[in-house]
Amino acid sequence: MKILYLSVLTVVFGYTSKAQDLSTTMHISAGTTAIVSSGTMLSASEINLKSTSNRFACLFLNEALEASTVVNYDRYVNVIGTSSGSGNDLIALPVKTLTDPTFSNFLSYTDGINANSVIIPNAPSLPTLYAFGPYDNVNQSYINYNTAVDGGALLERGVGYRAASYSGQTVRFTGTVSMVSESVEISTNNNNWNLIGNPYPTFIDSQDFLTVNSGVLDPNAVAIYAYNSGTNTDLGPGTFGDFTIINSLTNTDINIAPGQGFLVANDPADPTNQISFTTAMRTPDGTDDFILGRDANPNQMLRLQIENETENFATEIYFNDNSTLGLDLGYDAALYNGAGYNLSLYSHLVENNNGKAMAIQSLGLNNLNDITIPLGVKVAQGQQITFSIERSTLSDAIEIYLEDRQTNVFTLLNANDYAFTANTNVSGTGRFFLRFENNSLSTTEVTTEILQIFADKKMLVINGHLLADTTVSVYDIQGRLVLSSVLTGKSESNTIDASNLSEGMYVVKLNNTVQQQTKKVIFK
């Protein structure tokens, strides 16, 4: 990216360090950064910043502009539709008028050739309905603004909006540049996903953003969920369906482009929280938005894929020195659940499993030699599905086995793919497990492998293939038997009502002629 330091230009053009009289209108082209140093006054009646699909103008202010200066940002917006290379965009306001503009104001903004109302598609059957609007986490859907009803809706800094253009064009935002920290409220209303966005005409450092806001994000999803439109032909690490996950482990080199929208998950412990954007997060460094994506080439990872005739989906397992068998904030990341995938693959935590579907699970390096990870899939009846290793940086000495407990088949994925046809709809965990071994695996070694036992609110959940009728005994912390049940052999997914138990920790013991297991759970 070309960087233009305006404090240097004062010497080149012979102006004083306190003022610059450039031209009435200043243009900053896509891929160029203009940095205004402290003590430098930039005098221009209008500043226009440009962008393309993968290059963004950047205005980095260390000194406020004159109050009369109008800043316009022509922000690229992806093509409407679902064909290759298209599929909408998530954007935010990189500049804004002193008072929040209305949606009607925004539609009237023009670059001198076209107004936003001409660039943003409207519905042929309802011309007042536009492909622009926020995310409603109550209904778990995007809103399309209708000027007849929403013309007065206010557009705010820090809020994200879904938008589209007819042919991959720029829409204009106009107003002033924020020189202060900005905040936006996120909430849990039916679901905890929220659409927010970068409020500055600079990139912001994604890792700084996560550091500042980790305390208000869902512990299972301390991450940025970046919509990539499904246009990545090479689904690199951290990419799942239409989303690229940025956390402390994956895609750490991707920063958030000016005017870029993205999803975060509110910590459900509090119904509302405040996300903070600070000026310290601003950086001139970055390239594209999330649509193109990049490969960070992490070490010690496996990307496992399932595919049918038309779709594929993946989950990732990482091994490093910073992780454990349980939840590791900023390293493990839950699967975004707002997309309604027809086909999906995920894992559950090995320890302290809370039933969350994890897109990324991170484990310690010492776990590489002997670990079994529960897998969850969503597959429609009649589909033929193939499991395969899409990508791996693990040593050749590590043998990776897929276990299908319904068929009692173990497949060495290093050498072979595994295919099955779903006779019924498959959804959830308990059938498939992924095992990492340094030595050969035999069926007798794994027939007594761990079952999944966890509490989901006031239900006790037991997933996995029971090889015989099984007695389930639940004990309180004083060792008293408080609940017992018998599960039928050959079942793979079971729930037991524990609503009569008080909140707290309990010990669950499973026992049959072949399998025995003890697990601590916490009912909330």
88-143 residue pLDDT tens: 899 999 999 999 999 999 999 999 899 999 999 999 999 999 999 999 999 889 99
Which pLDDT value is given to residue 2? 59
Domain boundary among the residues 438, 467, 498 is at 438
The DSSP secondary structure of 100-157, one letter per residue, reads PPBHHHHHH-B-SS-BHHHHS-EETTEEEEESEE-EETTTTEE---BHHHHTTPBP-T
Give whole-number Cα distances, 444 to 57, 163, 408, in Å: 61, 55, 11
Say what percent of the chain tops pLDDT 70. Answer: 87
The larger pLDDT score, comparing residue 370 to residue 134, is at 134
Q: Cα–Cα distance between 48 and 30 in angstroms, integer? A: 10
Q: Cα–Cα distance between 370 and 435 in angstroms, integer? A: 7
In the predicted structure, residue 190 carries a pLDDT above the cut 90: no
In the predicted structure, residue 351 carries a pLDDT above the cut 60: yes
Token pair 């239409």: residue: 242
Q: Which of 173-182, 383-392, 491-500 has the lowest mean pLDDT?
A: 491-500
Band of the pLDDT at 492, cuts 50, 70, 90? confident
Which pLDDT value is given to residue 1? 60
Q: Which of 14-18, 284-288, 482-486 has the highest mean pLDDT?
A: 482-486
Q: Which of 15-29, 69-83, 504-518 has the highest mean pLDDT?
A: 69-83
The DSSP secondary structure of 36-71, one letter per residue, reads E-TT--EE-SEEEE-B-SS-B-EEEESSPPPTT-EE
**Domain shared by 167 and 187, yes or no:** no
**Domain shared by 33 and 130, yes or no:** yes
Are the beta carbons of 523 and 504 closer than 8 angstroms?
Answer: yes
The larger pLDDT score, comparing residue 476 to residue 498, is at 498
Of 216, 222, 201, 206, nearest to 157 by C-alpha is 201
**Domain shared by 219 and 98, yes or no:** no
Which pLDDT value is given to residue 40? 85
Give the mean model confidence (pLDDT) for residues 148-161: 97
Those residues whose C-beta lies under 8 Å from the C-beta of residue 506, and which sit 6 or more positions away, are: 474, 475, 476, 477, 482, 520, 521, 522, 523
**Domain shared by 362 and 503, yes or no:** no
**Domain shared by 423 and 513, yes or no:** no
Output b/e per residue, 229-254; b: 16+ Cβ within 10 A: bbbbeebbbbbbbbbbbbbbbbbeeb
Domain membership flag for residue 470: yes
Which pLDDT value is given to residue 85? 46
In the predicted structure, residue 379 carries a pLDDT above the cut 80: yes
Which pLDDT value is given to residue 517? 80
The larger pLDDT score, comparing residue 325 to residue 513, is at 325
Those residues whose C-beta lies under 8 Å from the C-beta of residue 310, and which sit 6 or more positions away, are: none
Q: Which of 211-215, 264-268, 307-311, 455-459 has the lowest mean pLDDT?
A: 455-459
Band of the pLDDT at 315, cuts 50, 70, 90? very high
**Domain shared by 64 and 136, yes or no:** yes
Give the mean model confidence (pLDDT) for residues 310-321: 92
Domain membership flag for residue 14: no
Which pLDDT value is given to residue 121? 95
For residue 322, what are the domain limits?
Answer: 300-438
Two structure tokens written together for 19: 């003022």
The larger pLDDT score, comparing residue 231 to residue 33, is at 33
**Domain shared by 399 and 475, yes or no:** no
Which pLDDT value is given to residue 270? 94
**Domain shared by 146 and 277, yes or no:** no
Tens digits of residue pLDDT in 245-258:
999 999 999 999 99
**Domain shared by 503 and 406, yes or no:** no
Which pLDDT value is given to residue 10? 31
Two structure tokens written together for 309: 């005739």
Domain membership flag for residue 18: no
Which pLDDT value is given to residue 231? 54
**CA dihedral for 52, 254, 345, 211, sign (positive or negative):** negative
Which pLDDT value is given to residue 92? 97
In the predicted structure, residue 84 carries a pLDDT above the cut 50: no
Give the mean model confidence (pLDDT) for residues 147-163: 97
**Domain shared by 50 and 154, yes or no:** yes
Number of domains the chain contains:
4
Give the mean model confidence (pLDDT) for residues 385-398: 91
Which pLDDT value is given to residue 327? 94
In the predicted structure, residue 58 carries a pLDDT above the cut 80: yes
Domain membership flag for residue 288: no
Domain boundary among the residues 150, 177, 204 is at 177
Are the beta carbons of 290 and 355 closer than 8 angstroms?
Answer: no
**Domain shared by 43 and 167, yes or no:** yes
Band of the pLDDT at 405, cuts 50, 70, 90? confident
Q: Which of 106-115, 289-298, 308-317, 461-470 has the lowest mean pLDDT?
A: 289-298
In the predicted structure, residue 51 carries a pLDDT above the cut 70: yes
Residue 160, classed as helix, strand or coil, is: coil
Domain boundary among the residues 177, 205, 234 is at 177
Q: Which of 152-161, 304-313, 338-347, 471-480 has the lowest mean pLDDT?
A: 471-480
Q: Cα–Cα distance between 465 and 459 in angstroms, integer? A: 19
In the predicted structure, residue 320 carries a pLDDT above the cut 70: yes
Domain membership flag for residue 290: no
Domain membership flag for residue 8: no
Domain membership flag for residue 15: no
Tens digits of residue pLDDT in 412-424:
999 899 999 999 9
Are the beta carbons of 413 and 342 closer than 8 angstroms?
Answer: no
Domain membership flag for residue 496: yes
**Domain shared by 387 and 416, yes or no:** yes
Q: Which of 22-36, 207-221, 227-241, 307-321 has the lowest mean pLDDT?
A: 227-241
